Chain A
Amino acid sequence: MAPRIPLQSPLQHSDTVATAGGVDHHPSQPTGWRRWLLTTNHKEIGTLYLIFSLSMFFVGGIFALVVRAELFQPGLQLVEPEFFNQMTTMHGLIMVFAAVMPAFTGLANWMIPLQIGAPDMALPRLNNFSFWLLPVAFTLLLSTLLMPGGGPNFGWTFYAPLSTTYAPASTTFFILALHIAGISSILGAINIIATILNMRAPGMRLMDMPLFVWTWLITAFLLIAVMPVLAGVITMMLMDINFGTSFFDAGGGGDPVLFQHLFWFFGHPEVYIMILPAFGIVSAIIPTFARKPLFGYASMVYATAAIALLSFLVWAHHMFVVGLPLVAELFFMYSTMLIAVPTGVKVFNWVTTLFRGSISFESPMLFALAFVVLFTIGGFSGLMLAIAPADFQYHDTYFVVAHFHYVLVPGAIFAIMAGVYYWLPKWTGHYPNETLAKWHFWFSVIGVNLTFFPMHFAGLAGMPRRIPDYALQFADFNLVSSIGAFFFGASQLLFVLVIILCVRGGKPAPAKAWEGAVDLEWTVPSPAPLHTFETPPVFRQIEK
């Protein structure tokens, strides 16, 4: 990808507009709390998403630490098994729907208009609606923990009939909360697609877009395709619980396995919804700090699209032991393995971008490099799980837990942190404190591996997941995991510290905060003024 330079400097527009008091579009900006409640500005809404996500990251993290504290040694010490189940469930739900997804949406809000030279998102009011549905949804979801009978206790995958016939009364509220979160995701995705397809600066073709924009375009498509399926399946649950229908009840002619098919038809694309934007972030950071154009831009785009399309054809690999017909086992095994091909293309491209680059190791780059290595470990364990006969052994063990935490924590979350460190200078006008950021990085890497690597061994040796007690031979692995989890959790306080310090001050950042950065966001001042690109920049691609 050749560097991109706008013909006219867009910061001129922003400055002139700011001094002119703004055109009639935005007369008086509300101040105080009203500024945040009523805003239609993509940067403010992006900030809201990111703060919400970070708060929920700690809420979900505390739930995880309750789980790890109970599993510190064998036997039941701290919590009742019933509460343990609620903690595993809520940890998963909060991390997936309230931490990782809103973080990526927040980054999309902040960066997509800046990266494509748009004045704002295509539908600014809808954007604010999408955000404010989230606090409503997750207040309702968290409140189920306080309801009679307790909160959801059936795992974040809420398989029927555990979540229907045998579920606590609060499940109805859980369903309605998830409906609100789903509406938020769908509306947010519609907005992102409309923005990318309609708001690009003159001259920017689709194949000129930064990869973060490309990956989000494809992610938004996945969201619009599968969130309604989730809405459908939880509606069927609602009906089974409250209106006596038989969707997931074999006695009435339905089938509990139908739930799993519908859930994973949503759930597997959902996994890629949480990783494709991460690919985009890493594809921005690695070329910047290797000071080389990304190797294989077009193949990255095609690989992303291929992963997205394949994600609709692999869902039943989560269900190998449910009793599928042999032909289904084979089909889903091979289609799953096929995903390794485009994913391999991506890893190859990142490594090749690094090859003979002039690399420096600032904190965004450290997180991005750790992403490539550790996500690949998660990818390999995924390949092992894809082998249907082997999965019969791994299924529902800690090996699965290790696998998806490797792709989600040092995968999705490390990429989010990399993106935050990368773009903080643009958001705040200051560089984050590099020393503290490096401590945060190394503590996180050590913590993550300490927590999740032993789970591979515990799982291969047969330790089942979602159980509050375990056999004695797993004691050492669990002790290490629990120590690692608390270490990782505590080191995230450093992350908060770095962000707060960076907002309050620090080394001032120029418009182009990183030497090797090429995308349009680095042409506006740091911090980016509230309104940018009100007159669109003319985009021109410079050939090598």
Chain B
Amino acid sequence: MSGGSYYVPAKSYWPILGSLATGFMMVGLGAQLVYGSANVLILIGVIAVVAVMAFWFRDVINESHQGLYDSQMDRSFRWGMGWFIFSEVMFFAAFFGALFYVRMFAIPWLGGEGAKGVSALLWPNFIAEWPLLSPPDASVSGPDNVFSPWQLPLVNTLLLVTSSITLTIAHEALKAEKRRVCRNWLAGTVILGCCFIFIQGVEYYEAYQHYGITLEAGIFGSTFFILTGFHGVHVIIGTLILMVMLARIIRGHFSDTGHFGFEASCWYWHFVDVVWLGLFIFVYVV
């Protein structure tokens, strides 16, 4: 409940500049995709978006250090971050839903199952299978092979699960005012995140060079890359966030009780970890 000290900032340049930067980035992206040769626009847009975010967060951190925020403000941030993560869950749910639909319905139907078996007239030789190595139409060439889940994907799973544990240790250390311990475990978490990104990069290289798993390789490549790709982007963002948290810990930010920025980063990282577990099971293993 409100105690009468809720901080309402008077004005800010970052929202309007952030909107324009977002628009710039999107126009650049569109121009690049449709007309080609707009890389510079995208670059400027991305830099502008990142800069606005940095200045905006700097304002929030300064206001927090000035003691302008009360416990009610803390709850606003908690609700805000919680619902933001829920929106991310639903974003990934769309891609998982697509994967399940394709595997449960679309491919069996293409193979002639059920009342919708008419597609067998178009592609009589199509065999329903998953992973789908031979898409129905001859113009689409499927992957040559798929990854064994028990090699790089397993290593990545262990890396991410471990990173969630190390991050929790860092968080507990911060709560116990053991800042050096916190710093070291947080640095370890960042390293684990970087290792994950590197291994995922190696896997993408392997996918294109030796496995024939590409974006154009039919529905297997499509679902594989959209799920692992967006997850990978989230790991990169999460690692960057943790790096910022590491820098703030080194600078002496956060206290044992007031560190929601740190805690929100932990929430985000654990969310990214859970998404990976879903990916590991449904994209690689099953």
Contact = CB atoms under 8 A, between A and B. Distances in A.
B30 A247 contact: no
A224 B13 CA distance: 26
B11 A40 contact: yes
Contacts of B97: 229, 261-262, 265
B19 A199 contact: no
A136 B142 CA distance: 40
A249 B132 CA distance: 14
Interface string B128-155: 0000100111011010000000000000
A186 B84 CA distance: 8
By size class, the interface of chain B is 35 or more
Contact of B218 (A118, A239, A246): A246
A255 B30 contact: no
Contact of B83 (A34, A173, A193, A252): A193
A252 B98 contact: no
A123 B63 CA distance: 14
Nearest to A127: B15
A119 interface: yes
A197 B79 CA distance: 8
A133 interface: yes
A176 B1 contact: no
A241 B33 CA distance: 9
A120 B7 CA distance: 9
Interface string A366-408: 0000000000000000000000000000000000000000000
A228 B10 contact: no
B2 A118 contact: yes
Interface residues of A, number: 92
Contact of B22 (A133, A169, A224, A232): A133
A124 interface: yes
A33 to B, nearest CB: 11
A119 B2 contact: yes
B9 to A, nearest CB: 5
Given A128-B12, A198-B79, A229-B93, A119 B6 contact: yes
Contact of A252 (B4, B119, B222): B222
Nearest to B136: A251
A508 B219 CA distance: 65
A228 B12 CA distance: 27
Interface in A189-229: 189-191, 193-195, 197-203, 224-229
Contact of B18 (A120, A129, A245, A251): A129
Interface stretch (A21-29, A102-110, A286-294): A21-29
A119 B79 CA distance: 18
Across the A-B interface, the 10 shortest Cβ-Cβ residue pairs: A232-B94, A251-B137, A253-B219, A136-B23, A245-B222, A228-B91, A132-B19, A129-B15, A255-B106, A128-B15
25 contacts: A40-B10, A120-B6, A133-B22, A136-B22, A140-B27, A173-B27, A186-B87, A197-B79, A199-B76, A202-B2, A203-B1, A224-B87, A225-B90, A229-B91, A231-B94, A232-B95, A243-B216, A247-B219, A250-B137, A253-B102, A254-B102, A255-B105, A258-B102, A262-B98, A531-B8
